[in-house]
Amino acid sequence: MEAKTKIDHVLENISKVIIGKREVAELSVAALLAGGHILLEDVPGVGKTMLVRALAKSTGANFRRIQFTPDLLPSDVVGVSIYNPKEMAFEFRPGPIMGNIVLADEINRTSPKTQSALLEGMEESSVTVDGETLSIPKPFFVMATQNPIEHEGTYPLPEAQLDRFIMKLKMGYPTPSEEIQVLNSLEHSVPIEELDTVITLEELITIQKEVRTVHVSEVLKSYIVELATRTRHDPYVYLGASPRASIALMRAAQAYALMKGRDYATPDDVQYLAPFVFAHRIILKPEARYEGMATQTILKDIIKRTPVPVERNVVT
Amino acid sequence: MRQRTLLIEGLTFLAALLLLMEWLGPIAELTNIGYIRVFYIFVAISFLLLFIKTPWWLSGLVKIGYIYWFIVSIYTEYPIVSLDGVRYFISELVYNVRQLMTLDLTQMTDPFRTILFFILLWMTVYLIGYWIRMRATLFVFFVLTVVIIGILDTFTAYDGSTAIVRVFIIGLGVSALLFVFKLHDNQKQFRYRGLIFTALLLLFSVSFAIFLPKAGPIWPDPVPYFYSSNPESGVGSGGSGAINKVGYDEDDTQLGGSFVSDDTEVFQVRATSRNYYRVETKDTYTSKGWIQSEPQIVYDYFQQGQEFSLGFPESAAPEAEQLEFTMQSEFPFLFHTYGTESVESAEPFGLRFNESTNRLDAVDEDGTLEPTEYTVNFAEPSYLLSELRSTQIEDLATLEPELNRYLQLPDTLPQRVRDLAVDITADQESVYDQAKAIEQYFRTNGFVYSQNNVAVPEGDTDYVDQFLFDTKIGYCDNFSTSMVVLLRSVGIPARWVKGFAPGEVIETDNGEQVFQVTNNNAHSWVEAYLPGIGWMNFEPTIGFTNTPDIEFDIELAPDDALAAEQQEIEEQEQQEQEVQQQETDTASNFSLKPVWDWFAQMKWWFVAAGIVVALIAALLYKFRLKWLPKLLLRKYRQKEMTTERFEQMYRRLLQMLALYGLPKEPGYTLTRYANQIDNYFGGDHMRKLTSEYERSLYGKGSTENPEHLRESWEYLINRLSS
């Protein structure tokens, strides 16, 4: 499997700068291959930026970064047309969104207006400035980070916008030994600067196309739909997974299967990815929160109770 | 596609409607429900509303409206659309609900019962709708219908013989329809082919079944059989425990054994008096039963209406009486009674009288016929007591030689029987008194009438000897045979008579009565020859009376045994109806007796075999893990490995693992499960198999031949059974 080898190279490359965190790296790559975007929710300083930069560097992608602040304007994101007196015409200055891999840092620090400018770009892969629509170059991958909502001075993202991220991940702190390794690796050098490009953008696009050829059998589709349906009917859930969530899960499973060197997705892929894909799209009822139920617990429970299709003719 | 679904669903609803009507029909018939059509229409409307998916409130409104309309228009005079009608309807409900609350069920009014019945129908239709829509099966309902019709047919007057055919056609048809429909949900062509095939098959099997010849019922009417199979009856204490069914049978070679009653009607007869219906006599006792000696058979032929005599004394009655027979079962002979003079019928046949058996056959040029309606004219023979009393015992020695066959006794007859006969008759001065003494002997010496616990003589045992000295329990055959043997032992010619007792009066009309004679009335009694007088009938069986017409022309002493007996007989006659109802009489046997005998004798074998089979099945089931895997190994060893077969084998393995106690959690993926299994058994066989199965199931279809996995599969299967 050629694609797998290439992806393995990328992951290996990333692991040079991100010690541990194999899972987050894998999922990020999966999201990239699936053509989705990632929401990283974590405290500052755990390596979010490094992860994205490593990813960008490994693929030779054009890396951009937007630091969201409360006073950031939509034009600071998408770009602005400026009058050029020489040419007697408006000239478009592309904003930081016009990159291949974009780190949108602390997205919930900015106003909803600016947030939606970014999210619209993510969804449409294009931006509209002064009535002119400009498409964003491919591949286009946004990794947005947000502080945990409890932090002060944040504008929580509305549900509709959360739905646009294929997955929400958490970095988490490294283990003490990992942290020591991090210190060691940084003692004398800056590894990120020594990172090589292991695949080209064209190869990345090819792999992205290949993801869509990964087979998802009928029974597996019904399993995905069943999982989504169950989140909608769970007594603790106020808002369940949308059909967009089902699509996202299928796409993620395809990408993940390809990374594992398979040309078909399995229930294992789906089970593994479902919490990352569904969790941020589900809103619990207040009573569930009072009872200390977490979204992850409920999802795990649903996965545990939903029968995995193991025969061909089970059509529910 | 949608239309086809509708068509199938419509057909299913129609079938359910027809099946439900099969329930309503007998219920209406048995409980005297009037206006049954209204209920049919109600059910039909309910189904229609269900079919077109009317919202619940609308269909409820329609049904309530229908019920209201029916109640108000049937039970009251109010116009339908009137305040009075509504008020009446509501007051009915309020009143009866109160009765229901207080459980005062007897106080409920008829309109409310009708409403309840409507509601029951409503619920039933709803349930059937659920079966059809949600479960897509009507099989349960079909089976229930068959059962209910079977029960009603068996235990009530309802005749379900055509209903059961209809139910089978509808039920099988609709089951097949639904099944085929479910089976090929996505393959239209298949479905249609299946339907056509089903219809053809159904048509063929039903028409084939209709044209097949039908055997009569092998088993007796189950209701009396159930009664008789309570612990007190059943297997006889002294004999092999054969249970026979009551009725008329020509074969009397092996008497004895218990009986179950059978109230199948044999014939009805319109008459002005009670009579015994004679069929034939037998003359040779074999120590086990009766056969007919075969001296030269002499037939007398008569025309209809032609007068003849059966060799009994003349009647003193001023005019002849009539017996009008209407047969339900067909017999190749005519029932007649004492003093029969002539027979008439609308059917063309002649009469043939067999002098040796006293049988009266209906014949034409081609042989015997089975007449269905005929009239017997008769005048009951009369006897003078004075003449009877003067019959000389000495005259017995000088009887005509042709009466010798009525004196036959088997050589093996124990001497104590002969001694007993002499004892009983020792003090009697006339032949008549001797015969009477023997007849009376059974009433006083501890004999018991019973159809159950009646012994069958085995080995060398003599039937009469066993009854007289050992068992003393029996029915008419025991009593009559014993009396004949005792009479012959003292030299009185006697013969054994078969026929039917009078039966029950079911209709009284202008001095005439209609008697219904069933198989339970089959009977046997005795005729004795008195020198100088001729044949006379006797009735030794306890609980039965059939006294000849005797004119008491001499005075009887008050303590005379005959006078006492006369009184006793009168009392008995009053009780007779009861006795006849309670204890059904048994004549010899009935048709298909050997089959039934066999079943009855083998009953415990069947039960034992059933238990053994059930036990083996239970054991096999319990220890199925021991043999099932081996069976699977064998089954699949011979077969070529294909992807499909591999999938099948893998699923089998999953089943076996579950059986073993390692079921897959529903939420586990196969990979996770395979890890669990391999941890348990060691090795990586399950993982290998699972990876191939997953590729085959979730992938695009494998091109690889899974032959190399056979080893892993066999390894695991073997582990399971070891």
The pLDDT tens digits for B307-320 are: 887 778 877 777 78
A174 and A226 both lie in a single domain = no
In terms of Cβ atoms closer than 10 Å to its own Cβ (0-12, 13-18, 19+), residue A145 is buried
**Which one of A205, A225, A240 terminates a domain?**
A205
The alpha-carbon gap from A308 to the nearest alpha carbon of chain B, in Å, equals: 5
Tally DSSP H helices, then E strands, for chain A: 14, 11
Pick from A143, A173, A205: which residue ends a domain?
A205
List the one residue out of B476, B471, B366, B483 whose CA is nearest residue B424: B483
Yes or no: say if B15 and B9 are a contact pair by the CB < 8 Å rule.
no
A44 and A128 in a single domain? The answer is yes
Q: How far is CA A181 from CA A18, A53, B370, in A?
A: 10, 19, 114
pLDDT of residue B246 exceeding 80, the answer is no
Task: Give the percent of chain B with pLDDT over 90.
Answer: 1
pLDDT tens sequence across B68-98? 888 888 888 888 788 888 888 888 888 888 8
Decide: B403 and B355 in contact? Cβ < 8 Å: no
Residue scoring higher pLDDT (B155 or B67): B67
- Residues of A whose CB is below 8 A from B694: 266
User: Is residue A313 situated within a structural domain?
Assistant: no
Model confidence at B235, pLDDT cuts 50, 70, 90, reads very low
Is the C-alpha dihedral spanning B121, B124, B128, B129 positive or negative?
Answer: positive
Hey, is the C-beta of A12 within 8 angstroms of any chain B C-beta? Answer: no
The predicted structure's pLDDT at residue B587? 41
Domain layout of chain B by residue ranges? 2-211, 243-268+382-502+519-599, 277-378, 623-721
Residue with tokens 């011979």: B638
Are A308 and B699 a contacting pair at CB < 8 A? no
The structure tokens 């569930």 sit at A288
Helix (H), strand (E) at residue B514: strand B512-518
Give chain B's count of helices (H) and strands (E): 22, 22
Q: Report the alpha-carbon distance of residue B607 to residue B614 in Å, rounded.
A: 10
Residue with tokens 């189904």: B47
Give yes or no for a contact between B694 and B651, defined as CB atoms under 8 angstroms apart: no
Helix axis angle for A22-34 and A48-59, nearest 10°, is: 50
Same domain, A119 and A12: yes
Shared domain for A20 and A87, answered yes or no, is: yes
- For residue A314, being part of any structural domain is answered with no
Tell me how many domains chain A contains.
Answer: 2
Q: Map residue B374 onto helix, strand or coil.
A: strand
Query: Quick one: A191 and A220 in the same domain?
Result: no
Q: Are residues A8 and A147 in the same domain?
A: yes
What CATH code is carried by the domain that includes residue A246?
A: 1.10.8.80
Closest by Cβ to B670, choosing from A263, A306, A310: A310
Q: Looking at B178-182, B267-271, B585-589, which range is the least confident one?
A: B585-589
**Quick one: closest CA in A to B652, which residue?**
A311
**Pair A190, A223 in one domain:** no
Q: For chain B, how far is it from start to end, CA to CA, in angstroms?
A: 52
Q: Are B670 and A267 a contacting pair at CB < 8 A?
A: yes
Is residue A46 in a domain?
yes
**CATH 3.40.640.10 applies to domain B243-268+382-502+519-599:** no
CB contact (8 A) between residue B670 and residue A262: no
Helix (H) or strand (E) holding A199: none
Q: For residues B688 and B712, is the Cβ–Cβ distance under 8 A?
A: yes
For A301, nearest residue in chain B (alpha carbons): B667
Residue B506 DSSP class? E
Q: How many CB pairs under 8 A join A and B?
A: 52
Note whether ipTM > 0.85 here. Answer: no
Which pLDDT belongs to residue B93? 86
Question: Which H or E run includes A169?
Answer: strand A167-169
- In terms of Cβ atoms closer than 10 Å to its own Cβ (0-12, 13-18, 19+), residue A193 is exposed
Mean per-residue pLDDT over chain B, rounded: 80
Q: Does residue B523 contact residue B496 with C-beta atoms inside 8 Å?
A: no
The two structure tokens encoding residue B701: 């279809």
**A85 interfacial to chain B (CB closer than 8 Å):** no
Q: Enumerate residues 6+ apart whose C-beta is below 8 A from A35.
A: A139, A208, A211, A251
The long-range contacts involving B84-88, CB below 8 angstroms and separated by at least 24 positions, are: none
Residue A15, domain extent: 2-205
- Looking at residue B586, its pLDDT comes to 43
Residue B161: predicted pLDDT: 80
**What confidence score (pLDDT) does residue A151 get?**
62
Residue ending a domain, choose from A205, A225, A254: A205
Is residue B376 within 8 Å of residue B322, measured between CB atoms? Answer: yes
- What b/e string do you get for B152-185 counting C-beta neighbours within 10 Å, with b at 16 or more? bbeeeebebeebbebbbbbbbbbbbbbebbeebe
With beta carbons under 8 A apart, name residues in chain A contacting B672.
268
Q: Is residue A293 part of a domain?
A: yes
Query: How far apart are the C-alpha atoms of B47 and B329, rounded to whole Å?
Result: 44
Does residue A75 lie in a domain region?
yes
Predicted confidence at residue B1, as pLDDT, reads: 46
